[in-house]
Amino acid sequence: LLVLATIPETSVYRQGVEALTRHRLNIVESANGDLTAAAEKLGEGQIEEALDVANDELILATNMVEWIAWEPLEEKPAPG
């Protein structure tokens, strides 16, 4: 969430990933340490798979910040 906070709040990417991350975090916190329950509620297989997905999203978010992906394109694409 700290990386996402560096992206403008108006960014659709930030809004979507932040909402999904908060949802997943709430599931994990409400499981009170029960990894099996958390994995079942997350619906992403084993908890290790959910961690892999979260790590991949962190890497992508870091890249999005580096790329300044929310800025308008420097060159407009050709029509069609």
User: Quick one: average pLDDT of 39-53?
Assistant: 92
pLDDT digits (tens, 9 = 90+) for 13-33: 999 999 999 999 999 999 999
Residue 42: partners with Cβ closer than 8 Å, 6 or more residues away: 24, 27, 28, 50
Q: What is the pLDDT of residue 45?
A: 87
The mean predicted confidence, pLDDT, of the chain is: 95
7 has a pLDDT exceeding 90: yes
5 has a pLDDT exceeding 90: yes
Q: Please, what is the Cα angle at 24 between 38 and 67, to 5 degrees? A: 140
State the amino acid at position 68 in one-letter form. Answer: I
- Please report, for the chain, the start and end positions of each structural domain, with discontinuous segments joined by +: 12-67
Q: What is the pLDDT of residue 44?
A: 85
Q: What is the pLDDT of residue 80?
A: 85
